[in-house]
Structures are given as C-alpha cells and as structure tokens.
Amino acid sequence: MKKLRVFLAQLSTKLGDVKGNEEKILEALEAAKREKVNLLVTPELSTLGYGSGDIYLDKVNENLESLERIKERVDDLYSIIGYVEKDNYGFFYNSACLINKKSIIGNYRKVQLVNYRLFDEKRYFKRGAKLPVFDIGDIKIGILICEDVWFPEPSRAMALRGADLIVVLGASPFERFKKEVWENFLIQRARDNILPFVFCNQAGCQDGVNYLGYSMYVSAAGKIVKTGKLLEEDYVVVEVDLEESRRLRRRDTRLRELRREILEELLRAYDEMEDDRA
C-alpha cells in the first residue's frame, strides 16, 4: 500500500517572535527527521507568527532571512513552511513554500484572505490567484492555507490537476464550536474531491486569543483518522493512504462526472451576480 508519512508540526508560534518561531521550526525539523517522515508541515505564517497587528509591515525582511536559515537545514525531507512572501513590487503575501534539498521548489499564495471579525489579512497581504500542484517524488500535492479550505473551489482545482493529497496550513483561533467547524469543512472537502487532507494548525495563546491546534488527517473517504491536541503544541505524525482515493473513485463517480458546461454555467452565474451588484 502506498503511504506518505507526514509530520504535522502543531507549533505555538507567536506574532513577531521570528527568532523563537525559527527555533521551534528547526526543532520540529529535527524531530521529523528522527521520525523518518517524507513531509513536514508547519502552521500558516509560522516564521513570523499569526495574529492581528502591524508587525507584518515591520518584520517581513527578518522573516525572509529566517526562511533562508531554515531552508539550509532541509535536506531530503520535503518541508512546507508558512511565511510572509515579498514580491518584486514589494507586495506581501500570506504564503507557504515547499522546500527540498535546501531550495524552494514550490510556492503557494493564500487565495482567500480573511478580513472579518478579528482578522485583517487584507490590511497586509495581496491575494494569490494560482492553484498549482507540486511534485513530491512521484506524487502530487496541493497546498492550501486556512480559509482556502472553507471554499469548495481551490481544492477542486487542485483535484483536477491530479493532486494525491491536499495539505492545509492553518492559524485558526479557538472559539466555541470551532473544532466541529474544522471537522466539517475538512470532511466536506475530502468528500467533494475524494482526496485525503492533512491540516496543520497553530496552537498556543497570544493577546487573549488561543489557537485551536487540532491538526488532523482526514482520509479520502471523509473519515477523521488522527487529530492533534487542542490548544497545545503537538507533533502529529500520520500515515496518509495514497491509494484509497483511486480505489474509491472506481465507483464514486462525482469527480469524473464534473462537466465543463456546468463550470461555464457557474462562471456565467458568477458574472450575473457581479453585474447585478453594479
């Protein structure tokens, strides 16, 4: 059976604590090497930390220098690190990069920035607009960041591009019933696409906001296979079954029955909605 060993580093990173976060990421990297995993995942924006505040405008360069140092420590192990990216225009993105053998071999920019209640990502970041998949040896993975998985479209695009697994980085705060919200979204997306999902979420507490933790592996059948601790730092090692989705797709016709004309109709509907608002 084809398996992928994934190390979900459920870290308690802190907004602005680039040095402390780096130590935690490097520690996790060493632990992942000992666990002989194929892939390590950190939470969203793990180098600079997640939270609400203008520190994103102040410490991007520090976070990029930190990423350089982290990169140097990644050998054969594929690693997905959440960080703040800066482009040639000087715009920032809430991004995740895929690192292997000391170099960045893939990069993903969060497409659905969160800007309600306590969140103000649009104050700092530009939205991504690409939904690629990346090769890890002979398998394909898609990377999503937090809110991206609350929408059906991003993971659907990656499924169409042949993803074998979707990896989700999160920094989702704890609040009442949030645990169930995440279970439901991940199960729903797994079922939509008949694909396994792994979710690595931030833990710890800062400024009265606790982060949920509760990293998770949901199988292609939509079953929760393993979860991390709530609110606390945790290392969650999971064995992802990469064959189940193909097995299920023999009889589960949903993905293969997706029709171009329906997608076109969806776009037309979208355009009508936009026109209506004008």
Partner 1 sequence: MIELEFKKEELPLVEKAICNSIRERVEKFNFNGAIINLSGGVDSSLVTKLTSLAIGNKKTYALILPEEGLTPEKDIEDAIKLCKDLNINYEIIPINSPLKAFEISLVNVEGDREWGITNLKPRVRMIYAYFYANAKKLLVVGTSNKTELLLGYGTKYGDLAADIYPIGDLYKTQVWQLAEYVNIPTDIVKKKPSAGLWKGQTDEEEIGYTYFQIDRVLFCLVELELSVRETAEFLNISEDAVNDLYERIVKNEHKRRTPTITKISRMCLDKDWRYPVERF
Give the footprint of partner 1 on this chain (CB under 8 A).
14-18, 20, 49, 51-55, 120, 123, 174, 176-177, 204-208, 210, 230-231
Q: How far is the CB of 117 from partner 1 (least distance, A)?
A: 11
Measured from the CB atom, the residue of 148 and 233 that comes closer to partner 1 is 233
Measured from the CB atom, the residue of 49 and 128 that comes closer to partner 1 is 49
Q: How far is the CB of 216 from partner 1 (least distance, A)?
A: 16
Distance of alpha carbon 69 from alpha carbon 157, whole angstroms: 33
Tokens coding 4: 């992928």
Q: How far is the CB of 66 from partner 1 (least distance, A)?
A: 13
Q: How far is the CB of 21 from partner 1 (least distance, A)?
A: 9
Measured from the CB atom, the residue of 45 and 195 that comes closer to partner 1 is 45
**Rounded to the nearest 5°, which phi and psi values hold at 191?**
-70, -40
> Does 3 participate in catalysis according to the annotation?
no
Distance of alpha carbon 16 from alpha carbon 3, whole angstroms: 36
Contact (CB, 8 A) for 198 and 167 = yes
Strand order in the sheet with 134-136: 134-136, 139-145, 165-170, 197-201, 216-218, 224-227
> Does 257 participate in catalysis according to the annotation?
no
User: Among 22, 24, 44, 200, which one carries the catalytic annotation?
Assistant: 44
> Does 71 participate in catalysis according to the annotation?
no
User: Among 121, 146, 147, 244, which one carries the catalytic annotation?
Assistant: 146
User: Among 24, 97, 110, 200, which one carries the catalytic annotation?
Assistant: 110
CA atoms within 13 A on the CB side of 126: 12
Query: Which run of H or of E encompasses 198?
Result: strand 197-201
Residue 152, amino acid: P
Tokens coding 159: 């499924």
Measured from the CB atom, the residue of 57 and 258 that comes closer to partner 1 is 57
Catalytic amino acids? 44, 110, 146
